Amino acid sequence: LDAKCSGTQYLAFIAGNMEMAQATGLVDNESKARDPYQLSLVQLMKLLEKSSMNPTQEIKDAFLNPKAGRNFIKTPYMAVQYGGGKNALLGNKDFCQYVSQQLAIVPEKLEAFAGLCVEAVHTALGEKINKFIEKTQEAVIKKCEKLGKAYFTYRHTDGQVVLKPCF
């Protein structure tokens, strides 16, 4: 493991997802594979094209291009990869601000847009990784119930403290 999307490397290894293993560089690939963020962005763009929230081409070119869009999708990607969902995104001030200001999504559609982001990441992660995440969530919920707690408080390796449930 080389710490390039290391969480996804672990998930790909555990779940046996070859596409994500290639996307993270965990296994050799003859051609340069898209990384997990790019795969998620591609899925988001497909969903947006079918929705009533499809941004203008000008907005796509400025804020959902391969570079800016990759940076944007990291927040939804990380939330979903670690078991979060719409609530994790809607509770993220920076995500909400970017979506409303740069992507021009009206406040009434923010929740639906967050849902599209979650769906896009789930699609990119694939069935095997999603199943692993789901089973992990179920185990955590059972542990919380056993301990009589609504959630665990924990600290990320970067120092961020998680004080609330996020999925």
Look up tokens 């929705």; give the residue. Answer: 51
Residues 1-47 have pLDDT tens digits of 455 667 888 898 888 888 888 888 888 767 666 789 999 999 999 99
Spatial separation of the C-alpha atoms in residues 83 and 47, rounded to whole Å: 21
Tokens, residue 119: 């769906």
- pTM of structure: 0.85
* pLDDT tens-digit profile, the chain (167 residues): 455 667 888 898 888 888 888 888 888 767 666 789 999 999 999 999 999 999 999 999 999 998 999 999 999 999 999 888 999 999 999 999 999 999 999 999 999 999 999 999 999 999 999 999 999 889 988 998 999 988 877 777 777 777 666 55
